[in-house]
Amino acid sequence: MRPDAIIFDIDGTLTNSIRPIITSWNRYLASLGIPYIPLDEQLAGSLMGKTMDEWAMAVLPSLPLEEARRHAEIMEKEENEEIRANGTDLYPGVYHTFELLHREYDLFILSNCGKGYIEAVMAHAGIEPFVKGHLCYGDNMLDKPDNLRKMVSDYHLKHPVYVGDTARDRECCEEAGVPFVYVSWGFGDVPDAEYRADSMEELPNVIPKAVR
């Protein structure tokens, strides 16, 4: 059965936002006057795809979760403003591939990111006209498997495919019963993935094969 929708992860799949995240988060953390762990490329890379609660406790481990979460909500807004002002590092071919795929499929974005992040990246990439819907952890505090099931239900998707870059993405797809397409240019490694693309340009040929 041919897929009717493609749901994209965002970090490691459409963009590498480590640069604006480090800039905005460290700027805010330095202003607090309390102990914190500064973000660097290694730490930020290890947190990609995780929930914002995990991000919050990684940089403010001495604080109670609720207090760290409040700071993280502010840092999310700072991060989104940084992306809207100075951009993010999109992977090659994002705009062209979305423009092409939306002619045949409904396109969605789903991530464990904070609220407003997907909108900021879409605006920078210019892909808003091609995206039918999006959902993230920051919208409802649900982890990716639950939000994946929610998106499938809310939009009445019959044969969706999820495109992501990590083993955790594949695990979420298995939990939600959605076929997974691995993209090799991101933060993870899934060497035994059944479906794989090594560039955005390969996706139009790989997606039709990803059935369950």
Output the average pLDDT for the chain.
95
Q: What is the DSSP letter of 79?
A: H
- pLDDT 10s digits, 149-189: 999 999 999 999 999 999 999 999 999 999 999 999 999 99
Taking CA atoms, 9 is separated from 15, 118, 186, in Å, by 10, 10, 10
3-state secondary structure at position 7:
strand
Mean pLDDT calculated for residue range 120-144:
95
- Quote the CA–CA distance of 47 and 41 in Å, as a whole number: 10
State the fold for domain 5-16+89-209: Rossmann fold (3.40.50)
Q: For residue range 9-45, what is the model confidence (pLDDT) as tens digits?
A: 999 999 999 999 999 999 999 999 999 999 999 999 8
Tokens of 85: 């002002």
Distance set, CA 4 to CA 59, 161, 175, 179, 199 (Å): 40, 8, 20, 12, 21
Q: pTM (2 decimals)? A: 0.90
Helix (H), strand (E) counts: the chain: 10, 8
